[in-house]
Structures are given as structure tokens and as C-alpha cells.
Amino acid sequence: MAELVDPDAGAVSLAFLHTLGTWLVPRFVTDFRQAFPQARFELHQDGEVGLTRHLLDATADLIITSSEPAHPLITWRRLLVEPLRLAEVAEEPFILLKPGYGLRGISETLCLEAGFTPLVGFEGEEVETLRGLVAAGLGVSLIPSSPDSTTPPDSPIRYLEITDVRGARDIGIAWLSSRALPPITRRFLDHTLKSAVAPAAAQATSHA
């Protein structure tokens, strides 16, 4: 009732991929709260399968994910296309996200297109974990770059532009078609669809 009386207030329940929590989601949240400062956010992070479950279990009203959920009850809209490319690092151990994350499948597919199967050295659950393992000299990783990311001059990580294989992943927002969204959540959805950002450049990381 309070949200109906004041549609500019209330909480937006949002779930998203770990890889989007370092740049895209903070940007959307900050931009929205500049227009609607009373809005609050309930945030959840998960893999692709888990995000769909958040919608179906009503633990989130919206999800931001890297692929369209294959479910008849879910509506999905593209926000941007994020480029991904692969370098010639077939002999190196790969540091990948665990199975179940969209970027894991994309990485394996692009490696196969380049003519090799990646040698899995380590698996993690967040991109920052992958960066840390790369910085420790444990392997290489294929990750999308954040447009806001910068590398300190003394960083042990080198970011390499990939030229031999081209790929991209869709980033989109989804909601349960049959569920009426709270007013503030509908405002966030409309705001996000209108302010989708330009695609980020791709990065492959390796220890310097």
C-alpha cells in the first residue's frame, strides 16, 4: 500500500550475474537513484540457472543476465551486446568460472572455435577471483572488460586484445511475465531499458 501511495519509494529486488556486479549494475543503480533517491535495492548475485530460479521463486522481481532464459513464463529484453575475443593461449592453463555461469560456456565455445579445448587450471565464482589467480601467475583468463576498469601501472596482469576469434554475449534484463511489478520496480525497468550502455571492450588476461 505504501508503494502505491508513493510510487517513487520502495525496494527494487534485482538479481544479476557476478560478472556484472563490478560495473554494469552499479551504474544502473546509481543512475536510477539520482532520479529516484528514495528507491532502495535488494540485490542478489548468482549464475545463469540460479537467476532464473530467483524469478520463479519470487526472490527477485528482475534479473540481469547474459542470455535469454529459455522459459515460457519469462520475458527478456536486450540491453547491450558485450564483445568477447580470444588470444592464442592454447598451451596455457585457463582460469574459468565454474560450470553453470554463462561466461564459462562462452569461453569454452570460443576456445573450440579457435581449434583447442581449454586446459582448466582453476575455477572460481567471481571475475575478481579470476583476476587474483591470474595476478598470482596461475594461468590466463578470458573476461569481458568493464568500461570503467583501469589497471595500476605496477599490476602483474597484462590485458591482451584478442584477434583470432570473435564472439559476443547478449546482456539483458528479464522478469516474470505473469507477475505484476511493484511501481518502483517498473520505473527501474523502464529507466534501464532506455539507458542501456554501449558495449564494453573485451579483455584476455595473463600474468606479466
**Residue-wise pLDDT tens digits, 26-71:** 999 999 999 999 999 999 999 888 999 999 999 999 999 987 888 9
Closest among 145, 8, 150 to 85, alpha carbons compared: 145
As to burial, measured by CB atoms within 10 angstroms (0-12 exposed, 13-18 middle, 19+ buried), residue 117 is exposed
Grid coordinates given for 11: 525496494
Distance from C-alpha of 181 to C-alpha of 20, rounded to nearest angstrom? 23
Q: What is the pLDDT of residues 83-127, one digit of tens each?
A: 667 656 888 899 999 998 888 888 898 888 888 899 999 998 888
Tell whether pTM > 0.85: no
Write down the mean pLDDT value for the chain: 83
* Helix, strand or coil, per DSSP, at residue 128: helix
Distance from C-alpha of 116 to C-alpha of 104, rounded to nearest angstrom? 15
Over 50: is that where the pLDDT of 17 sits?
A: yes
Model confidence at 15, in pLDDT bands (50, 70, 90)?
Answer: very high
For residue 144, give every residue at least 6 positions away whose Cβ sits within 8 Å of its Cβ, in sequence order, or none: 19, 82, 83, 84, 103, 169, 200, 202, 203
